[in-house]
Amino acid sequence: KAGVTQTPRYLIKTRGQQVTLSCSPISGHRSVSWYQQTPGQGLQFLFEYFSETQRNKGNFPGRFSGRQFSNSRSEMNVSTLELGDSALYLCASSRTGELDEKLFFGSGTQLSVL
Amino acid sequence: AQSVSQHNHHVILSEAASLELGCNYSYGGTVNLFWYVQYPGQHLQLLLKYFSGDPLVKGIKGFEAEFIKSKFSFNLRKPSVQWSDTAEYFCAVNAYGSGNTGKLIFGQGTTLQVKP
């Protein structure tokens, strides 16, 4: 079956703009998590959605937001982009998001903020 | 706050050498432990996981890890590495408790380079 699909693969934006990233989970998976990966900070948890509800949130400013649709697809939005938002944004899915479940990761969206 | 520390940032080995990557976590309660691997140009994928039971767990491609609760450690091992093991390795933890669904705390990662 198809894996986790993230679009677009690459994005270039300028400071102050906003951006929306998309994630389609594996069929049947209802939990979607988002992570930010940077060389300095590594992988950091942004938030997790299940059945269109945000269940869990990391320590990121309110400029980072997300949503999940009824088909489990998820989007994350970053408003008023800053240079420090340049990163690889990874989406991961699992059936329920429970602690003993393995996460399936997408290839990520590489965001560059100029 | 929970945290994960990986001891080595960059490891270079020759083929057939033995590998051990260190991982320590800080959390006093019950945890699930994972090692994920990211091969060049590929997405993150699970190498192995520990939830309970036998503290020595075996994963794919000949990797194994040992959970030592008293040391808060979950070190990854492989007796003989191959060139194809060149990748970045991440140790990760999630902790039992409310509000932790879908949330992994990752270490900084260890880049393994295997020379043929």
CA distance B36 to chain A (A): 10
pLDDT for the residue numbered B64: 97
- Give the residue from A54, A63, A60, A71 showing the smallest Cα distance to A19: A63
Averaged pLDDT for residues B45-55: 92
Which candidate from A58, A97, A102 shows the least CB-CB separation from B101? Answer: A97
CA distances, B10 to each of B7, B13, B21, B87, B112 (Å)? 9, 10, 10, 10, 6
Reported as type and span, the H/E element at residue A99 is none
- For B29-48, write each residue's pLDDT tens digit: 888 899 999 999 899 999 99
Query: CA nearest A31 in B: which residue?
Result: B102
Banded model confidence at residue A36, pLDDT cuts 50, 70, 90: very high
pLDDT tens column, B75-105: 999 999 999 999 999 999 987 765 666 688 9
Place of tokens 């979607």: A32
- Number of other residues whose CB lies within 10 A of the CB of residue A24: 21
Chain B residue with Cα closest to A107: B43
Cβ B102–A108 below 8 Å, yes or no? no
